[in-house]
Amino acid sequence: MVTGSAVLFKNLFCYLFARRYTPLVADFKGLGIITINSLVMGFMLYPFRKMIINVPSFIVVIIIGAAIYFMIAHFNKAFFNEERNIINKILPKPIFVF
């Protein structure tokens, strides 16, 4: 708990210090959507925890979790259209839809 709170307050200090000298704006709506997507994925994966008995079963649960997250993120988008367009311009094919 001590390490986690130290990292949290360090990040908060860095954010406030950077905001003091630059026009930095955090997208709390996007961060909130990502948090909600992660919580939904976690609740859906919670029953699978008893099935993890070895490395292959762990990998299967990770793949299931990634699939669940991508399905949720497809409908509950955290990025704006402009942000998606910037990322798709960098990628070889426009596949970023989240």
Q: 3-state DSSP call for residue 38?
A: helix
Total-model pTM:
0.65
**97-to-27, 31, 55, 68, 71 alpha-carbon distances in Å:** 18, 17, 31, 15, 11
**DSSP category for residue 97:** -
In the chain, where the domains are located: 27-90
Q: For residue range 18-70, list pLDDT tens digits in order.
A: 888 888 677 788 889 989 999 999 999 999 988 899 999 999 999 999 999 98
Contact call for residues 96 and 88 (beta carbons, < 8 A): yes
